[in-house]
Amino acid sequence: MHKINEHHFKDQGPKEINLREYFTLIKKRFWIILLVTLIAGAGGYIYSNMNSTPLYETSTRVIIGTGEEEMDMNTLMVMITDPMIMETVANELQLARSPGQIAGQIEVTQIEESQVVSIKATDSDPETAMNIANSTAAMFKQEIKQILDFKGVQLLSEAELNTAPINTDQNRTLIMAIVFGLMTGIGLVFILDAMDGAIRKEDEAEDILGVPVLGTISNMTKRKFVNKKKKTKEMAVRGETVDIK
């Protein structure tokens, strides 16, 4: 018997499996797939929350060069994030940040080569982002008069509170973790099945033992055993009744 088992494990070729057996195998060990998927999903959720801070963005618009005053647009746009103006913004909002840090939170863009300029601010707090954008526009209009004696700046629209984060990669990370866990779980199920040396088919037994299979024994569970025992008693009772008659 030991030699037979040794021959079985050494010389057993790849298992032939059909689509129905795939589903049966997955159903049988579904708990493994579920467990691995839950672990991977939980890991992805923890990672995304610990390593990603929600960021909020909002913007205000100003018109530069209104009236008869004219000045180079690029120069004026650079002046918006000038350290002097950024320091004024920090003081007004009472932010413990350097002018360079605040300037790094601001993006200045010209709208389609027009005189309209967008001042976009980003921060981990939506209200702070709104205040930085509005304060920057107001301080720029105020300070540019003194620095360059330029009065051609008008506020077009104020920044509004935006509570929707712009970095939505957290959900993406979670989804990728769940998919990875699902695929890993399925792969693990098939690996365990490939390592299982149990004989499941009659032709496998014939190939290993070299003799034909004469019969098979069905899988007897406790429930089947109780039902069969009960059925046997009922048949015996009916038989005795017939004999009496």
Q: Comparing C-alpha atoms, which of 64, 49, 53 is closest to residue 129? A: 53
Nearest to 9 by CA among 208, 160, 153, 211: 208
Question: What is the mean predicted confidence (pLDDT) over 181-192?
Answer: 89
Q: Collapsing DSSP states into helix, strand and coil, what is residue 107?
A: strand
Alpha carbon of 16 to those of 12, 32, 124, 204: distances in Å?
Answer: 11, 22, 56, 10
Give the mean pLDDT of 56-67. 86
Percent composition of the chain: helix, strand, coil (DSSP 3-state, to 5): 60, 10, 30
Query: Which comes out higher in pLDDT, residue 212 or 189?
Result: 189
Banded pLDDT at 70 (limits 50, 70, 90)? low
| Residue pair 150/144 in contact by the 8 Å Cβ criterion | yes
Give the whole-angstrom CA distance, residue 182 versus residue 180. Answer: 5
In the predicted structure, residue 11 carries a pLDDT above the cut 80: no
The position carrying tokens 């304060």 is: 135
Rg (alpha carbons) of the chain, rounded to whole number:
38
Q: Which of 142, 110, 105, 141 is nearest to 125 (CA)?
A: 105
Mean pLDDT of 112-140: 94
Q: What is the pLDDT of residue 21?
A: 77
pLDDT at 129: 96
244 or 165: which leads in pLDDT: 165
Residues 155, 94 contacting (CB under 8 angstroms): no
Distance CA 114, CA 215 (A): 89
Tell me if 150 sits within 8 A of 76, measured CB to CB: yes
What mean pLDDT value characterizes the chain?
79
Q: Do the Cβ atoms of 184 and 36 come closer than 8 Å?
A: yes
Go through the domains of the chain in sequence order and give each one's CATH number. 2-48+173-244 (no CATH), 56-157 (3.30.70.1130)
- Model pLDDT, residue 2: 46
* Residue 208 near residue 8, CB atoms below 8 Å: yes
Q: Which of 56-60, 84-88, 145-149, 240-244 has the lowest average pLDDT?
A: 240-244
Q: Summarize the confidence of residues 227-243 as an average pLDDT.
A: 58
Closest CA to 62 of 138, 162, 7: 138
One-letter identity of residue 97: R
Tens of pLDDT, residues 151-175: 888 899 999 999 988 877 667 788 8
pLDDT in tens, 31-53: 989 999 999 989 888 887 777 78
Cα-flanking dihedrals φ and ψ of residue 216, to 5°? -130, 155
Q: What is the pLDDT of residue 200?
A: 57
Yes or no: say if 166 and 56 are a contact pair by the CB < 8 Å rule.
Answer: yes
